A and B are shown apart, each in its own frame.
Chain A
Amino acid sequence: MIETLGANALVIEDDSNIRRSVRSALEMNGWSVLEAETLASGMAAVAAHHLALAVIDLGLPDGDGVALVRSVRERFQAPIIVLSARAEEHHKVRALDAGADDYVEKPFRVAEFLARVRAHIRRSGATSSAEAVITVGNVEFDPGARLVRKNGSEVRLTRTQYKLFAFLVANAGRVLTHRQLLLGVWGPARVEHGHYLRVYMASLRQKLEDDPARPKLITTETGVGYRLVSG
């Protein structure tokens, strides 16, 4: 990717094999990779360099990776992908709430990981005009006209459904936690009402997905949240 040539990516992971795989994959794609093994050295690297991508392991030996996520998010708009162990949903949710964009479970396929990286870079690099029409699959989102079209024909959305969809589109490609969604669409009063989200998500899928039982547009990240698939 020409855009990322020479751009700095920080990989913080205590296991050398995983670090090596990620590093070689990124380097093959034109990234300049900085490595760190611990929280402390990671913090130092964040302070010292300008980053265009951060890959952070949550299970670092000397501390919680979430602190690092916060530190990167404070300084850069770069996409943050966290690496987590399986069945640690609460950990992932905390990282996402702290500002991470996506998570990948170990063990992971490097190819898939790269695809995610590309998607996030594309998203963050895209010039987002507030009026521009965004197309995802066979669904079009027209913020200017406040319209949503599927296969060309207009889909009637209620006010809340529209708000929800707009929020998802604005964060396309990123994993949004239940909490972030509830906060963004319904406000702080309903932060605990997970069932609202479920029902509205189901209704949205009914309208926009080809097969609501096997959604391709809005995917479920079980135990964590939802993601609008981008491109």
Chain B
Amino acid sequence: MTTDARPDPDELVERIRQEARQAGRGRLRIYFGSAAGVGKTYAMLVAARARKAAGTDVVAGVIETHGRAETAAQLAGLELLPRRGIARADRPLLTEFDLDGALARKPALILVDELAHSNVAGSRHPKRWQDVDELLASGIDVWTTLNVQHLETLNDIVGGITGIRVHETLPDTFFDAADEVVLVDTPADELLGRLKAGKVYGEAQAERAAANFFRKGNLMALRELALRRTADRVEDDVQTYRADRSITPVWKTESAILCCIGPGRSAEHVVRSAALLAQQLAVSWHAVYIETPRLQRLAGDARRRILLVVELAEQLGARTAVLPSSDVAAALIDYARDNNLSKVVMGHNRASFWRPAGTLAQQLGQRAADVDLIEIGAPPGTVATTAAGRRADAKPVAANWRPTGYALGLVACGLLTALVVPLEGVLDQANIVMLYLLLVLGVAMRYGRGPAVLCAVVNVVAFDYFLVPPKLSFAVSDVQYVLTFGVMLAVGLIVGQLTAGLRFQARIAVHRERRSHALFEVARDLSAELVVEQVVETAAKAIAREFHAEVRMFVLAEDDRLALVGSTCAGLDAGTARWAFDHAEPAGLGTDTIPGSAWHYLPLKASMRTRGVLALQPESPRLFAVPEQRRQLQTFAALAAIALERVHYVDVAQKATVQIESERLRNSLLSALSHDLRTPLAGLSGLAESLQLTEPPLSGEQKDLCEKLDAAARRMTMQVSNLLDMARIESPEFRLASDWNSIEEIIGSAIRISEWALASRDVTTDVPRDLPLVKCDAVLIERVVVNLLENAAKYTPADACVRIAARVGATELSVSVADNGPGIPAGREKSIFTKFTRGVRESSTSGVGLGLAICKAIVEAHGGRIGAANHAGGGAVVTFSLPLPSEQPQDRPALDAIEEVE
């Protein structure tokens, strides 16, 4: 610990909580213990019941009581999620935790016992911790239990301690990512006491347990492990907190670890040790498998086993790579240098006669003196591995026999000998040897090491037999010829080895080039496509060709639907595709989710969002075991996703451009009309009026004409205004200028504006005092009231009565304008609000029928309603309502309060 102030645990907890909340992910709490029976499930249940009493929605997802009475008692009162039954042919019904049921139920907190449990086949995920991961991703908090021996990195250590290997394991990364770990600790003696009292297992089982797993030494060691692991976690949390606060990053400049995966049996142990080491040093780590030509020729099983180890490394948090190379040390050193890895972790390698360069460790030590080497010892219990076992492992399959090479080599030797022997007198012996050497060289270059060795031996034999005195016998009189033989053999071997290596590299290079070329072609073709269907076709064809598989694509359509492009195929499941899409993770064949499916579903993730799902049914399912192929597939998928996204945005851009253009057109039209129509009309009106006021005054008839001119101009102005207003309100960018307003005020000014229209009619108002302020656009609502008043004036006789009333409801304020005129024709109450419709057809009163349509548009833009009816006393009443906000402005002074204050 440095001299920094100790971090405040509450602050820390609060920060984590905030981050989790922001991420929307549920919180994981693990009840961690050293052995069965320490009381993890019990503690979890007790805490859960307390939570439930405090009001949280708690559901017990799956609880294993193992027949322990005390634990079972704690279950009382908790809601239990029913298990899912999995029917298997001719087997009793198996039950398993119902993940979909839990997701549908969506409690605030769910209890899931035994985190490391393996799910019954037929479940969505093979492991329960993957189920828990999905629960957390959907925002549900999860509490669970775990024993120390289930942790991946500690698995074989615990196995070494107890002698019992547990096969249900949990990756450490998942454990470390948990939000809380509660250590349930019981001293060994107490636990043994519980065991004897029968509180852990039934009697027979308890006896067996006491003899094997539950020995005191074991329990103490396990307890120490559990305590240490928890302490490490706490230390990690503290480090993270401090690292976040300090200016310089704590370990970003630290170089990482390189773990070398070999073909031996101890590779798994090496990987686990490397993971532990990386954790302890708090650095990232890489795991690399160097595939030499010899290893490439291994039997399928052995190869799969090695690839499983590579996958294990990836699960434990490493960046993995499988590199083909004939020189292991050189490849390792290059990789280490490229990735700034200063520590190399590997298993022991025995020196052998056939490797004069020394063990791998020695080679690394010599060629890269600055690299740290850590050799991991053999895992406990495996020291007895026999030499035979080792050899059996590494035995290459003689599948790459090329009998032709050997046969032709032999033939060539025979030919040369036949050629040379008669020429013995002419050619010097040294030159004959040269010729044989040349032959060996040629065979090595052409057919590889094996034929070259055979050729060399045959040459030596032939040379000895036919040309070396004494002729036609195998005796060798001169020791010098041993040298000749030796050199020929050596040349054959060396050249064969070299050419084999070269050919291997060449093959790799060609293979790589072909892969890059395929990618290049696909990328080039995709970049030219403009339509989704074309993209899908190109991508599907390319992928099908490259991976020898059936390919189908699901593409994101409107309203978030996933649509299959092209014809469907047997075994294709839209549900799984949707799952892969929603979770942005691969599903199906070769993954952890529904691995039983025949298809592999890969989400097409583009930079903004997932654009679809690629479904793949390869001819050889081994495709997914090889990391290179998986990476290649992902690259293809990424290219397809980018192309889909590009096409989508081209579409969006086009639509936006069209919209902008039409908007611009409409706006310029509106403003042109607005100015160019209104101004002449205003001028017309003004001039007519001026005419009326000229000196000397006009004659009666002239005055009359003038008045009519004026009236006509004004009417036209009103119509144009209505039309333009309607257009403005309907345009997409129309915005309300809302503010707090008094409806009484608006009504008052509306009446004033409509005075000339209402003329001699009797206008009364019925507006209560102290109405709440309403949020609206004052100018527009005034317009509505004016329109209603002018309508009332237009359709009623000159001596009619018009009454305006305002009422406050629970959630809205309503205003009504009523008259006692002829009213609205029956059945037309709704249609009068439509554009260009009037209550009375073909009447002498002017108007194009827009007034009420404008009222409707304005009121509805405010979220209110408008309606018309004939009221009981005869005559029309039009009522509109505006939504009342739930709260008045905070500091609104109440009318009465004003008086009291001052």
Please tell me which one of the listed residues A15, A16, A108, A202 contacts residue B742 in the complex, with CB atoms under 8 A apart: A202
A110 → B minimal CB distance (Å): 5
A193 and B895 contacting across the interface, CB-CB below 8 Å: no
Identity of the chain A residue whose Cβ is nearest the Cβ of B901 in the assembled complex: A158
Interface check A122, CB cutoff 8 A: no
Given contact pairs A85-B674, A213-B748, A18 touches B682 in the complex (Cβ within 8 A): yes
B898 and A219 contacting across the interface, CB-CB below 8 Å: no
Interface of chain B residues 66 through 83 with chain A (CB within 8 A): none
B678 and A202 contacting across the interface, CB-CB below 8 Å: no
| Stretch binding the partner chain, chosen from B44-52, B116-124, B765-773 | B765-773
Interface check A115, CB cutoff 8 A: no
Identity of the chain A residue whose Cβ is nearest the Cβ of B725 in the assembled complex: A87
* B interface footprint on A108-137 (CB within 8 Å = 1, 0 otherwise): 111100000000000000000000000000
- Residues from chain A with a CB closer than 8 A to the CB of B741 are 198
Identity of the chain B residue whose Cβ is nearest the Cβ of A83 in the assembled complex: B682
Please tell me which one of the listed residues A15, A17, A199 contacts residue B898 in the complex, with CB atoms under 8 A apart: A199
Given contact pairs A160-B902, A198-B773, A15 touches B778 in the complex (Cβ within 8 A): no
Interface check B361, CB cutoff 8 A: no
B725 → A minimal CB distance (Å): 7
Interface check A222, CB cutoff 8 A: yes
Given contact pairs A107-B717, A194-B740, A220-B749, A18 touches B683 in the complex (Cβ within 8 A): yes
Interface of chain A residues 191 through 216 with chain B (CB within 8 A): 193-196, 198-203, 206, 211-215
Please tell me which one of the listed residues B679, B681, B685, B765 contacts residue A211 in the complex, with CB atoms under 8 A apart: B765
* A interface footprint on B728-740 (CB within 8 Å = 1, 0 otherwise): 1000000001011
- Residues from chain A with a CB closer than 8 A to the CB of B745 are 198, 201-202, 220
B683 and A111 contacting across the interface, CB-CB below 8 Å: no
Interface check A48, CB cutoff 8 A: no
Please tell me which one of the listed residues A21, A22, A109, A223 contacts residue B779 in the complex, with CB atoms under 8 A apart: A223
Given contact pairs A198-B740, A198-B742, A199-B898, A17 touches B686 in the complex (Cβ within 8 A): yes
Interface check B680, CB cutoff 8 A: yes
Please tell me which one of the listed residues B689, B742, B893 contacts residue A110 in the complex, with CB atoms under 8 A apart: B689
Interface check A20, CB cutoff 8 A: yes
List 6 A-B pairs, minimum CB-CB distance, nearest first.
A17-B683, A107-B682, A21-B686, A158-B902, A195-B740, A220-B749
Given contact pairs A213-B765, A220-B749, A111 touches B782 in the complex (Cβ within 8 A): no
* Bound Cα distance A220, B749 (Å): 6
Interface of chain A residues 3 through 38 with chain B (CB within 8 A): 15-18, 20-22, 24-25, 28
B779 → A minimal CB distance (Å): 4
**Residues of A in contact with B (beta carbons under 8 Å apart):** 15-18, 20-22, 24-25, 28, 59, 85-87, 89, 106-111, 158-161, 193-196, 198-203, 206, 211-215, 219-223
Please tell me which one of the listed residues B713, B739, B773 contacts residue A199 in the complex, with CB atoms under 8 A apart: B773
A110 and B690 contacting across the interface, CB-CB below 8 Å: yes
B682 and A215 contacting across the interface, CB-CB below 8 Å: no
* A interface footprint on B658-697 (CB within 8 Å = 1, 0 otherwise): 0000000000000000110011111111110110011100
Given contact pairs A18-B683, A87-B725, A107-B686, A219 touches B752 in the complex (Cβ within 8 A): yes
* Bound Cα distance A161, B742 (Å): 18
Please tell me which one of the listed residues B693, B744, B895 contacts residue A28 in the complex, with CB atoms under 8 A apart: B693
Q: List 17 A-B contacts (CB under 8 A).
A: A17-B682, A17-B683, A86-B721, A110-B690, A158-B899, A158-B901, A161-B898, A195-B740, A195-B773, A198-B745, A199-B892, A199-B894, A200-B898, A206-B895, A213-B765, A219-B749, A222-B779
* Bound Cα distance A111, B713 (Å): 16
Please tell me which one of the listed residues B682, B746, B767, B779 contacts residue A89 in the complex, with CB atoms under 8 A apart: B779
- Residues from chain B with a CB closer than 8 A to the CB of A211 are 765
Interface check B301, CB cutoff 8 A: no
Q: Interface of chain A, helix or strand or loop or mixed?
A: helix
Identity of the chain B residue whose Cβ is nearest the Cβ of A224 in the assembled complex: B779
Q: Interface of chain B, helix or strand or loop or mixed?
A: helix
* Bound Cα distance A87, B880 (Å): 22
- Residues from chain B with a CB closer than 8 A to the CB of A195 are 740, 773, 888-889, 892
- Residues from chain A with a CB closer than 8 A to the CB of B895 are 199, 202-203, 206
Interface check B747, CB cutoff 8 A: yes
Interface size bucket, B side?
35 or more
Interface check B891, CB cutoff 8 A: yes
- Residues from chain B with a CB closer than 8 A to the CB of A213 are 744, 747-748, 751, 765, 767
A106 and B678 contacting across the interface, CB-CB below 8 Å: yes
- Residues from chain A with a CB closer than 8 A to the CB of B748 are 212-215, 220
Interface check B84, CB cutoff 8 A: no
* Bound Cα distance A206, B769 (Å): 9
Identity of the chain A residue whose Cβ is nearest the Cβ of B713 in the assembled complex: A107
B686 and A212 contacting across the interface, CB-CB below 8 Å: no
* Bound Cα distance A223, B695 (Å): 38
Interface of chain B residues 850 through 902 with chain A (CB within 8 A): 888-889, 891-895, 898-899, 901-902
Interface check B446, CB cutoff 8 A: no
- Residues from chain A with a CB closer than 8 A to the CB of B680 are 17
* Bound Cα distance A161, B895 (Å): 12
Interface check B648, CB cutoff 8 A: no
B749 and A222 contacting across the interface, CB-CB below 8 Å: yes
Interface check B714, CB cutoff 8 A: yes
- Residues from chain B with a CB closer than 8 A to the CB of A215 are 748
- Residues from chain A with a CB closer than 8 A to the CB of B685 are 107, 109
B693 and A25 contacting across the interface, CB-CB below 8 Å: yes
B347 → A minimal CB distance (Å): 75
Identity of the chain B residue whose Cβ is nearest the Cβ of A160 in the assembled complex: B902
B715 → A minimal CB distance (Å): 12
Additional A-B contacts beyond A87-B725, A198-B773 (17; CB < 8 A) = A17-B684, A24-B690, A28-B695, A85-B674, A85-B678, A106-B679, A107-B678, A107-B686, A107-B713, A107-B714, A109-B685, A193-B891, A194-B740, A195-B889, A198-B745, A213-B767, A214-B752
B682 and A194 contacting across the interface, CB-CB below 8 Å: no
Given contact pairs A195-B889, A199-B773, A199-B893, A15 touches B693 in the complex (Cβ within 8 A): no
* Bound Cα distance A184, B898 (Å): 19
B893 → A minimal CB distance (Å): 6
B813 → A minimal CB distance (Å): 14
- Residues from chain B with a CB closer than 8 A to the CB of A206 are 769, 895
* Bound Cα distance A135, B270 (Å): 103
B695 and A202 contacting across the interface, CB-CB below 8 Å: no
* Bound Cα distance A214, B753 (Å): 11
Identity of the chain B residue whose Cβ is nearest the Cβ of A195 in the assembled complex: B740
* Bound Cα distance A220, B786 (Å): 14
- Residues from chain B with a CB closer than 8 A to the CB of A223 are 737, 778-779, 782
* Bound Cα distance A171, B680 (Å): 34
- Residues from chain B with a CB closer than 8 A to the CB of A109 are 685, 689
- Residues from chain A with a CB closer than 8 A to the CB of B891 are 193, 196
* Bound Cα distance A17, B680 (Å): 8
* Bound Cα distance A119, B767 (Å): 32
Identity of the chain A residue whose Cβ is nearest the Cβ of B771 in the assembled complex: A202
A108 → B minimal CB distance (Å): 8
Given contact pairs A20-B687, A158-B898, A158-B901, A202 touches B682 in the complex (Cβ within 8 A): no
* Bound Cα distance A144, B765 (Å): 37
* Bound Cα distance A157, B740 (Å): 24
B98 → A minimal CB distance (Å): 56
B174 → A minimal CB distance (Å): 54
* A interface footprint on B686-724 (CB within 8 Å = 1, 0 otherwise): 110110011100000000000000000110010001000
- Residues from chain B with a CB closer than 8 A to the CB of A107 are 678, 681-682, 685-686, 713-714, 717
Given contact pairs A18-B686, A202-B745, A213-B767, A111 touches B693 in the complex (Cβ within 8 A): yes
Identity of the chain B residue whose Cβ is nearest the Cβ of A22 in the assembled complex: B686
B690 and A25 contacting across the interface, CB-CB below 8 Å: yes
B169 → A minimal CB distance (Å): 64
A27 → B minimal CB distance (Å): 11
- Residues from chain B with a CB closer than 8 A to the CB of A214 are 748, 751-752, 765
* Bound Cα distance A86, B779 (Å): 11
- Residues from chain A with a CB closer than 8 A to the CB of B740 are 194-195, 198
* Bound Cα distance A17, B683 (Å): 5
- Residues from chain A with a CB closer than 8 A to the CB of B779 are 87, 89, 222-223
